[in-house]
Amino acid sequence: MRRSVGVAVASAAVLLAAGCGGGGPRSSGAEKLTDDKIVLGVLNDQSGAYSELSGKNSVKAVELAVADFKAKYGDKAVTGDINVVTADHQNKPDVANTRAAEMYDRKAVDAIFDVPTSSAAEKVADVAKEKRKPYFNITAATTTLTGAKCNRYTFHYAYDTYMLANGTGRNSTTQGARNWYMVYPNYQFGQDMEKSFSAAVQAAGGQVVGRDAAPFPNTSGDYSTYLLKAPTLQPRPDVLGTMQAGTELVNLVKQYNEFKLRDKGIGLAVGLMFLTDIHSLTPAALSGTVYTDAWYWNYDVQNRTFADRFQAETGTRPTFAHAANYSAATQYLEAVQATGTDDADAVVGDLEGKEIEDVFLRNGKIRAEDHRVVHDAYLAQVKPAAEVAEPWDYVKILKTIPAAEAFRAPSADCKM
C-alpha cells in the first residue's frame, strides 16, 4: 500500500477529528512534546571546504521548512515553538562527535540534520544510536550509513557513493572512457568513492590504470604531483576521475586546466559536484563535464519556485544539499505532526516505508530495511558558456535515473 506524506497527514486528520472534534492533524496534548517545543539542529562545515555547498545556507533551508510548516498548520500545528540551532563541526570527526552529543543533551535537540564529511557522519550516527534521537544525514556520502553503521535512528537522505558511481562511472565508461586514473581525498568519503567508482568502471568493461590518495584536508591546495603523473601512466588514461569535493575540487580542476590535460587526451570525470563548484570555476572551466546530480534548481517549475524563494533569502541558488535539508526537516516535522509527539521511536515508525513526493524527492521512499531514502537522480552536463542564459543555470539534465536504479539494494551488512 502506498504511503505518502499527503495520505499520512490526511489519515491523522480523520482520526484526530473523530477523537477531538478538531479540524486537522494536531497533538492531542502539549505534554507529548519534550519541553513543549521542537528543536532542530544543523551540524555542518561553516568555515571550510564544504561551507559553500551547504554551510549556513542549509541552516536557512531548515528555517524555511519550519516557516512553511507553521504556515501550513497554523494553530493546528503540534506546536508553534520550533527552534533551529547550529554548530560548526570543522570537518573533524571528534568535533562532530562532541557537538552532536551537546546538541542532544544540552540543547534539547530532537533531530540533527546535514553533517558533511563521511568520517564525521559516522560519529554522529553512533551518537544518534546511543542517544536514541533521529539524525538525517544529507551531505555525507559513505554507504556505511546504510551498511555496517546503519541504525534505527539514522536516515541517509540525499545521495551516496553508489549513486554517484553508478551514474557517472558507468555512463562515462560505456561512452568510451575505458582507462581511468583516480585521485581521491584520503578519508572515508574518498576511499568509498574510489571503491565505488572502480567497481562501476570495471562492471562497465573499463579498467583503473592508476589510483592515488591525496591528503585531506589538502591545506596546500597543490595537486600537481598527480596531474603531472597522469600522462606518464601506461596505458595512458582516457579520463582523470577526481573524487574531491567543495573547494578541493575547485583547486584540482583549476590545475587540471592549467596543465592542459584535456589537450593531452585525458578527459575529466567529477565524482561529486555541486552548483557552487561550477559557479566558482565558471562553466567555461567545466564545459561538457558529465556528472550525477541528486537535484537541480531549474529542473521544473516546482524546483524553480523554491529556488527563487531561497535566492531571495540568501542571494544564491540552492544546491541539492540545501534542498535536501529543507525536505528532511519538512518530513521530520510532518512525522511529529502525524504522531502528535517528538518521541523518537514513534517518529521513526511513521517515517519507515513512507513514500514521498516533495520539492526534493521525486518517487521518493524511506526504505524500512536500512533507512536509505531512495529517489530519482539525474545525469547532468555542464553547459558551454555560450549556452548559459542566466546566472546559475549552468547545467542541462541528460536523463533521469529512476529511483529503483539510482541506489543499491539493501546491504546484508545493515542490522537494524
| 208 and 276 together in one domain | yes
| 129 and 252 together in one domain | no
Pull the grid cell for residue 387.
549556452
| 199 and 281 together in one domain | yes
| 284 and 388 together in one domain | yes
Is there a contact between 206 and 170 (Cβ–Cβ < 8 Å)? Answer: no
Per-residue pLDDT of 13-65, as tens digits, reads: 333 333 333 333 444 433 489 889 999 999 999 999 999 999 999 999 999 99
| 282 and 401 together in one domain | yes
State mean pLDDT over 317-330.
98
| 323 and 270 together in one domain | no
The answer to whether position 10 is within a domain reads no
The answer to whether position 6 is within a domain reads no
Per-residue pLDDT of 208-226, as tens digits, reads: 999 999 999 999 999 999 9
Question: Who's near 397: CB < 8 A, 6+ residues apart?
Answer: 293, 296, 299, 378, 379, 380
| 131 and 187 together in one domain | no
Is there a contact between 359 and 306 (Cβ–Cβ < 8 Å)? Answer: yes
The answer to whether position 279 is within a domain reads yes
Question: With bands split at pLDDT 50, 70 and 90, how would you rate the model's confidence at 416?
Answer: confident
Host domain of residue 102: 29-159+300-374
346, containing H or E segment? helix 344-351
Per-residue pLDDT of 162-171, as tens digits, reads: 999 999 999 8
| 391 and 265 together in one domain | yes
105, containing H or E segment? helix 93-105
What letters, b where the CB count within 10 A reaches 16 and e where it falls short, cover 382-414? bbeeeebeeebbbbeeeeebebeebbbebbeeb
The answer to whether position 17 is within a domain reads no
| 382 and 263 together in one domain | yes
The answer to whether position 22 is within a domain reads no
The answer to whether position 3 is within a domain reads no
| 176 and 280 together in one domain | yes
The answer to whether position 19 is within a domain reads no
Q: Is the per-residue pLDDT at 348 higher than 80? A: yes
Say which CATH number the domain at 83 has. 3.40.50.2300
Bond before 235 cis per omega within 30 degrees: yes
| 223 and 149 together in one domain | no
Place of cell 557522519: 121
Could you give the number of structural domains in the chain? 2
pLDDT at 6: 42
| 133 and 96 together in one domain | yes
Instruction: Supply the DSSP string of 256-324, one letter for each residue.
Output: HHHTTTGGGT-EEEESS--HHHHHHH-HHHHTT-EEEES--TTSSHHHHHHHHHHHHHHSS---HHHHH
Please give the radius of gyration of the chain, using alpha carbons only, rounded to the nearest integer.
21
